[in-house]
Amino acid sequence: VIRCRAAVAWAAGKPLSVEEVEVAPPKAGEVRIKIVATGICRTDDHVLEGCFPNVDFPVIPGHEGAGIVESVGEGVTSVKPGDKVIPLCLPQCGECSFCLNPESNYCVKSHVSEPQNLLPDKTSRFTCKGKQIHHFLWVSSFAEYTVIPEYAVAKIDTAAPLDKVCLLGCGFPTGYGAAINTAKVKPGSTCAVFGIGGVGLSVVMGCKAAGASRIIAVDINKDKFAKAKELGATDCISPQDFKKPIQEVLTEMTGHGVDYSFEVIGHVDTITAALASCNMNTGICVMIGVPASGSVISVDPMLLLSGRTWKATLLGGWKMRDCIPKLVSSYLEKKFNSDLLITHTLPIIKVNEGFELLRAGKSIRSILLF
């Protein structure tokens, strides 16, 4: 058993508490990882608010981490102690019908099918003050050591800087892949991105890489516009500057609506606006933001009957164990610069400060270091 620090969420609506926790050794098919760095993602904030589905408290959040394998359980062959790895919040078991389908990046082991609050044997590897602490998406990267099933761990290049490539565990591949894989943005096309936080800006980078000629960033926080333009946005607009609905503004700006729209906020009204803002016949709207558990979207069927395509993406459509190591290699080859998303670096003890920066719209990505 290893004793180490972890940021524990004891109950919804309460700040995180940095505690000493005990982390049990890995069982068969499991990997224990020393987390070096982890990003703060909006999804972690949804956990703290109590609006992310299938989460049990107390829990150690965090799902955008990178670290080094400390030990492995019986039967583990794909990684060994000392390997640099990224833990995956979307597993890839390699055996289910989804994993075997080349067009799918889903896995039946994912939390959308069944909660990932405990490891597959329905027990936790975390205890604190004599109490069992739940895992989050099996990753729990707000702990200095964590235990994860082997099929939710990707071995990466030894040259990768862990305090930078931790973003490749969730935020960057989700946004970048939404443009490249899910929407399949075509050269010369027009795009609108609703919400330009870390994931939204990654969408902007993906649209630019795909050759889009016009990328319109939509956000009420104008402080983010300079960064959006630096990463490839051609226009930045705030819905608060217009008296008419933002979908009408976008339609007027582009003629018949954008070719691709992306919703990266998770609000029911912006999801509907994003759908309405894309071209009525060939437009593709991709939903990325996570709405509050139990949300219901009401949509005029004519928005779809005229030919629009409405789809969502899970982690940007990447088969995680296969693709994350390749994305890390692309990062090392400077094919994209995800470092530009990092605005703050903090020690784990300042985790709550990191969430305050996020909620105040003052950070894009804060990285926590152990």
pLDDT digits (tens, 9 = 90+) for 167-180: 999 999 999 999 99
C-alpha distances out from residue 172 to 343, 348, 367, Å? 14, 21, 13
CA end-to-end span of the chain: 19
Residue 78 predicted with pLDDT over 80: yes
Higher pLDDT, 51 or 296: 296
pTM of the prediction? 0.96
Distance in angstroms (rounded) separating the CA atoms of residues 150 and 29: 6
Looking at residue 339, its pLDDT comes to 97
Looking at residue 294, its pLDDT comes to 83
Of 101-115, 266-280, 321-335, which gets the smallest average pLDDT?
A: 101-115
Paired strand residues for 216: 192, 235
Residue among 68, 320, 322, 36 nearest 164 (CA): 36
Handedness of CA 251, 257, 261, 267 (dihedral sign): positive
Looking at residue 53, its pLDDT comes to 81
Looking at residue 327, its pLDDT comes to 98
User: Which of the following CATH numbers is that of domain 2-171+317-369: 3.30.360.10, 3.40.50.2300, 3.90.180.10, 3.50.50.60?
Assistant: 3.90.180.10
Instruction: Give me the amino acid identity at 17.
Output: S
284-301 mean pLDDT: 91
Q: What is the four-CA torsion angle of 364, 368, 45, 338, rounded to 10 degrees?
A: 30
Q: Which residues contact 74 (CB under 8 A, 6 or more apart)?
A: 27, 28, 29
Q: Assign 325 a pLDDT band (cuts: 50, 70, 90).
A: very high
Residue 291 predicted with pLDDT over 90: no
Domain extents in the chain: 2-171+317-369, 183-312
Exposure string for 60-82, b = 16+ CB within 10 A, e = fewer: bbbbbbbbebbbbbeebeebeee
Distance in angstroms (rounded) separating the CA atoms of residues 216 and 355: 27
pLDDT tens, residue by residue, 197-247: 999 999 999 999 999 999 999 999 999 999 999 999 999 999 999 999 999
Q: Which residues contact 323 (CB under 8 A, 6 or more apart)?
A: 173
Both tokens of residue 209? Answer: 């890489």
Distance in angstroms (rounded) separating the CA atoms of residues 325 and 168: 9
User: Which of the following CATH numbers is that of domain 183-312: 3.30.70.360, 3.10.105.10, 3.40.50.720, 1.50.10.10?
Assistant: 3.40.50.720
Alpha helices, DSSP H, located in the chain: 42-49, 97-100, 162-165, 171-177, 198-209, 225-231, 246-254, 268-277, 302-305, 320-332, 351-359
Both tokens of residue 320? Answer: 């995680």
8 backbone dihedrals φ, ψ, rounded to 5°? -105, 135
Residue among 336, 332, 368 nearest 350 (CA): 368
62-88 mean pLDDT: 98
Q: Which residues contact 280 (CB under 8 A, 6 or more apart)?
A: 256, 257, 303, 306, 307, 308
DSSP code at position 260: E
Distance in angstroms (rounded) separating the CA atoms of residues 316 and 295: 22
Residue among 148, 62, 167, 144 nearest 109 (CA): 148
Residue 279 predicted with pLDDT over 90: yes
Separation of CA 155 from chain center: 19
In terms of C-beta density within 10 A (0-12 exposed, 13-18 middle, 19 or more buried), how is residue 289 classed? buried
Looking at residue 167, its pLDDT comes to 97
Tell me the Ramachandran region of residue 30: left when phi exceeds 0, alpha when psi lies from -120 to 50, beta otherwise.
Answer: beta
Both tokens of residue 233? Answer: 């946005």
Looking at residue 52, its pLDDT comes to 84
Residues of the chain with pLDDT > 70, as a percent, come to: 100
pLDDT tens, residue by residue, 79-138: 999 999 999 999 999 999 999 999 999 999 998 878 899 999 999 999 999 999 999 999
Distance in angstroms (rounded) separating the CA atoms of residues 245 and 261: 15
111 backbone dihedrals φ, ψ, rounded to 5°? -65, -15
Paired strand residues for 20: 5
Paired strand residues for 160: none
Distance in angstroms (rounded) separating the CA atoms of residues 264 and 41: 12
Both tokens of residue 361? Answer: 């719209």
Looking at residue 35, its pLDDT comes to 98
Looking at residue 111, its pLDDT comes to 84
